[in-house]
Amino acid sequence: MAGDYQRGEMDIHEQAATFEGFGKFTKWGSLAIASLLLTITLWFCTPAGFVGGLVPGIVLAVLGVLFLKEKPASAH
């Protein structure tokens, strides 16, 4: 059985797609949690109130999207 194995011949498209999907989920999920955490912390733990927490949360989300979005692949 071990002799039947040929290194590098297995189709890994599904594993690569899963790895890419997990990376994207982690990246965008972390941004969502950070924005939500900032918003509710400023809302409930400071005298800033709802709007004082919502505005920085939205700013963080927008900046995060701008910095974390996929960059176009450079052509070599």
List per-residue pLDDT tens for the chain, 76 residues long: 667 777 777 788 999 999 999 999 999 999 999 999 999 999 999 999 999 999 999 999 999 999 999 888 776 6
What dihedral angle (degrees, nearest 10) is formed by the CA atoms of 57, 62, 65, 71?
A: -150
Say which residues have a Cβ less than 8 Å from residue 61's Cβ, sequence separation at least 6: 31, 32, 35
**CB–CB of 37/56 below 8 Å?**
no
Token readout for 55 is 């505005």
pLDDT confidence of residue 38: 97
Q: With 0.85 as the threshold, say if the pTM is over it.
A: no
pLDDT confidence of residue 45: 95
The C-alpha atoms of residue 69 and residue 4 are separated, in whole angstroms, by 43
User: Tokens 């927490």 map to which residue?
Assistant: 53
The C-alpha atoms of residue 23 and residue 7 are separated, in whole angstroms, by 26
